[in-house]
Amino acid sequence: MTGLDLIFAVVGLITAAAAIKTVTSTNLVHAALFLAVTLAGIAGVFLVLSADFLALVQLVVYVGAVAVLFLFGLMLTRAPIGREALDSDHRGLALGVSGALFVLLSGLIIAAFGDVRVDTVGGPRTADIGLALFRDWVLPFEVLSMLLLAALVGAIVLSRREDGESGEVEDVTRILLADDPDLDGVDDADASADGAAGEVRA
């Protein structure tokens, strides 16, 4: 047990605990914040593994952007709070499957790598990463940028209003009212369920 192992244990425990809270928390916003903690913890893990560039990317992209995006998502969809509202009735199935997966995978990992210990931890320098990215991987890189562009356009197209008034922010609260006469395309079952959900929100 070296010092590095110790630091890793601390960071890893925090990350693991936050991750578990992320999927078990009964408060939506808390879940998202725990996600941010988990992602920051993973950035810490990267640092411990001396992948400093990736750690920064992780912080900027995930903690900075993705987590905030999720918070926006939660706010905009106004989901209810509470265990019954947040968890579906698959909790038993989920627990069984993920538990089995964890046991199986960790068993395999320990069997395969249990005795691997390394003295030096070190990876490519940021300069190496840059060179590799723009020399060997430049084509995938450009393809990825096209993918991001396509995702951006797709996201905009998907979240636009149907009747196509661009530039206007959608008034999402209007449709929340179950008795709204403008509520098209929602069948009866959903409408009544919306009523119940509406009460919770109210």
Handedness of CA 128, 129, 132, 134 (dihedral sign): negative
Q: Which residues contact 191 (CB under 8 A, 6 or more apart)?
A: 178, 183
**By CB under 8 A, residue 50 contacts other proteins:** yes
Among 158, 164, 179, 188, binds other proteins (CB under 8 A): 158
Binding residues among 51-110 for other proteins as defined by CB under 8 A: 51, 53-54, 57-58, 61-62, 65-66, 69-70, 72-74, 76-77, 79, 85-91, 93-95, 97-102, 104-106, 108-110
CA 157/CA 165 separation, integer angstroms? 12
Asked whether position 14 contacts other proteins by CB under 8 A, the answer is no
Question: What is the closest distance, in whole angstroms, from the C-beta atom of residue 168 to other proteins in the complex?
Answer: 14
Counting contacts by CB under 8 A, is residue 19 touching other proteins?
Answer: yes
Are 106 and 98 spatial neighbours (Cβ–Cβ below 8 Å)? no
**Local structure of residue 169 (DSSP, 8 states):** P
- Using CB under 8 A as the binding rule, the residues of this chain from 161 to 190 that contact other proteins are 170, 172, 175-176, 178, 183, 185-186, 190
AA identity, residue 161? R
Binding mask 134-153 for other proteins (x = CB under 8 A): --xx--x---x--xx-xxx-
The count of chain residues that interact with other proteins, using the rule CB under 8 A, is 104
Q: In the set 30, 128, 134, 192, which binds other proteins (CB under 8 A)?
A: 128
Least Å from the CB of residue 116 to other proteins: 4
Residue 51 Cα distances to 36, 44, 64, 138, angstroms: 19, 10, 18, 21
Helix (H) or strand (E) segment spanning residue 90: none
